[in-house]
Amino acid sequence: MSIVKRLPIMTDLNKYICVNPFTYTEITVDKQHMCCDAWMPLNIKTKGDFKDNWNSDKSISARNSMLDGSFKYCSTDKCPHLNSVTHNDKPSGPIRVKTDALVKELTEQNKEMKAEIETLKSINSL
Ligand code: SF4
C-alpha cells in the first residue's frame, strides 16, 4: 500500500467529500489511479481490465474513505484542495460540502460510469 504524508488535521473532514474517486480515473501503461497519483498514490490496478480496477476493493475503499471522512489515501501536503480544507476549513476544486443529496448524486454517477465503462469495453472488443 502507498504511504501518504499526513499533516495534523484540525478540520472535521467528515463535513466534506471529494468527488474524484466517484467520477475520475487516470490510466497509464501499468497503473490506474482515481486522482493525480502524486496527490493520491493508491494504485487501483488489478490483474483484470480497467473496469475491474474501477470496481476493485481498493477503489471501493477509496470511495469509502470519502464517505467516512478519513480521506486516508490522500496526501494532506501534496493535494492543494485537501490542504485548503485542513488549514482553512474551505472546500475547493473537487472537494465539496458533504450533503445527503450529493452522496446520492455521486452514487448515481458512479453507477452511470460503470455502465459507460461497460460500453467502452464492448466497443474495444469489436
Ligand atoms: S482530496 Fe485531493 S488527493 Fe484526495 S481524491 Fe480529492 S483531489 Fe485527490
Note whether residue 64 is domain-resident: yes
Note whether residue 3 is domain-resident: no
Write out pLDDT tens, residues 33-48. 999 999 999 999 999 8
Pocket, ligand 1, Cβ cutoff 6 A: 18, 20-21, 35, 39-40, 71, 74, 79, 81-82, 94-95
Instruction: Name the closest-CA residue to atom 8, ligand 1.
Output: 35
- H helical segments located in the chain: 20-23, 50-54, 57-67, 80-88, 100-124
Closest to 3 in 3D by CA, of 95, 87, 74: 74
Note whether residue 5 is domain-resident: no
Number of domains observed in the structure of the chain: 1
Note whether residue 27 is domain-resident: yes
Rounded Cα gap, residues 113 and 66, in angstroms: 18
Ligand 1 atom at minimum distance from 19 CA: 6
CA distances from 15 to 41, 70, 71, 98 (A): 23, 11, 11, 5
The one-digit pLDDT tens for each residue of the chain (126 residues) are: 556 766 667 789 999 999 999 999 999 989 999 999 999 999 999 998 888 999 899 999 999 999 999 999 999 889 999 999 998 899 999 999 999 999 999 888 777 777 776 777 677 665
Note whether residue 46 is domain-resident: yes
Q: Which domain holds residue 28?
A: 13-124
